[in-house]
Amino acid sequence: MAEIEIFTDGACSGNPGPGGWGCLLRYNGIEKELSGAEKETTNNRMELTAVIEALKALKKECQITLCTDSRYVMDGVTKWLPNWIENGWKTTNKKSPVKNVDLWQELEKLLSCHQIKWVWVKGHNGHEENERVDKLARNAIASLK
């Protein structure tokens, strides 16, 4: 099984506002950068989109180390997702719908194809790849103007 490193980030200029996402995929020393933007979105949606787009870029099952600075995404996948599914995509109180449910459902389908080790990194703290994907996300926002 291919071993891949993925680094993701999302950004927003205003929240909500114009947003961008970026990801870096690394396999055997070969790197691929992806990015995109939306005119009206939120930071959390861009964080989720970065992970989704990175996973969609993979053509086969992989063993992934995925680095993100988003506790929302990491905790969502590693802690909250099973309960949301069990509760019919409602939060713990079983009344409120999960925010960004469309993206969470898309991500959930992509997760089942891979073995993923989640790694949280502190954002804007000198982590080389995190700074790189942050720049991709911010450049994507700038491309909207």
Which positions are annotated as active-site residues?
9-10, 47, 69, 124, 134
Task: Please report, as a single letter, which amino acid is at residue 126.
Answer: G
Distance of CA 83 to the CA centre of its chain: 20
CA–CA dist 85, 128 (Å, integer): 35
CB 6 within 8 Å of CB 25:
yes
CB 89 within 8 Å of CB 81:
no
95-112 burial: b if 16+ Cβ within 10 Å, else e: eeebebeebbebbbebbe
6-36 burial: b if 16+ Cβ within 10 Å, else e: bbbbbbbbeeeebbbbbbbbeeeeeeeebbb
